[in-house]
Homo-oligomer: A and B are copies of this chain.
Amino acid sequence: MVLLLYFCRKSITMSLLTVGTVAFDDIETPFGRAEKVVGGACTYISWAASYFINNIRLTSIVGGDFPKDELDQLQSKGVNLDGLKVIQDGKTFFWAGKYHENMNIRDTITTDLNVLDDFDPELPDSYTDSEYVMLGNLTPDIQLRVIEQLTAPKLIVLDTMNFWMDIAMDRLKLVISKVDVLTINDEEARQLSGEYSLVNAAKKIFEMGPKYLVIKKGEHGAMLMSKDDIFYAPALPLAEVVDPTGAGDSFAGGFIGYLAKSGDTSFENMKRAVIYGSTMASFCVEEFSLGKMKNLSEYIINDRVQRFVNITKFDI
């Protein structure tokens, strides 16, 4: 009976919709530079999630200049690309950024929207019944357009940033009112709520709609909050951080990938998802672009999760 239940549980295959940019990045950090490497929120999210679930439906847009090999690699990891628009005579979204000494601050050097400028994410029919949905950082209107097409969402997670709070707060709040989980950093939580204390900020944000808030604090870890509970996970102290680009997206991918795999959206399970998300982020920053993210395994991931267990456990 126990065995039967186990197999029943394993046989659940949740669907995960990932939405966001697929991009080229130029990146400069104190440790080196990378030119025209593959990036984009949706790319990091999908790669990170692919270690947990193989029913991923990617929604994005690229130009004809985007390498087919990169798409083949995603497909081989179980990522469906029916929702990826390829504009043959267009150019892929391009971002160039430079990180300061402390890696927490970055300057945007260039943002060429290119094909992203006309992105209207019409979901393929096969995507509309997606149960788990990860809305990567994008224009609130595009995020809203995706939500409106969903027929049976079980959990919608939204990532966004201060840029949209600055220029499109009302539209952003409309999106926020329709999601279950919001992931932002500590400064963004303060900006969104007008509260300095993160405890008070969370209270205000729950009034806007979401039931859960994940506050990403980079090297200081991540906090998961609900109306009744708080969970504070550290970041893994790393000897070398090469490139922070995509860390938040890799967190999001690991977080929702783990949730979709387990089909369990309880607070207790979300705590585990935060640990898996933090684990994926810790890999992401160790190399430029997807260098590390493409070469992981269940063994490597679980080994690092165990390091999280080791650095946090204490008996009182």
Contact = CB atoms under 8 A, between A and B. Distances in A.
A197 B235 CA distance: 13
B309 A238 contact: no
Nearest to A195: B239
Given A199-B238, A272-B316, A275-B316, A311 B232 contact: yes
Contacts of A200: 239
Contacts of A268: 314-315
Interface in A237-286: 237-241, 268, 271-272, 275
Contact of A314 (B103, B231, B240): B231
Contacts of A223: 237
B237 A196 contact: no
Interface residues of A, number: 34
Interface string A211-225: 000000100110100
Given A220-B221, A314-B275, A316-B272, A239 B199 contact: yes
A309 B314 CA distance: 8
Nearest to A200: B239
Interface in A109-153: none
- Pick from A102, A220, A238, A268 the residue with the most CB of B within 10 Å: A220
A232 B312 contact: yes
Contacts of A305: 316
Interface string A297-316: 00000000100011110111
A106 to B, nearest CB: 15
A234 interface: yes
A198 interface: yes
Given A102-B196, A196-B102, A241-B197, A272 B315 contact: yes
A101 B241 CA distance: 29
Given A232-B311, A233-B314, 19 more contacts: A197-B238, A197-B240, A197-B241, A198-B237, A199-B237, A199-B239, A217-B220, A221-B232, A230-B237, A230-B310, A230-B311, A231-B314, A232-B234, A232-B312, A268-B315, A272-B314, A272-B315, A312-B312, A312-B314
Interface of A: 101-103, 196-200, 217, 220-221, 223, 230-234, 237-241, 268, 271-272, 275, 305, 309-312, 314-316
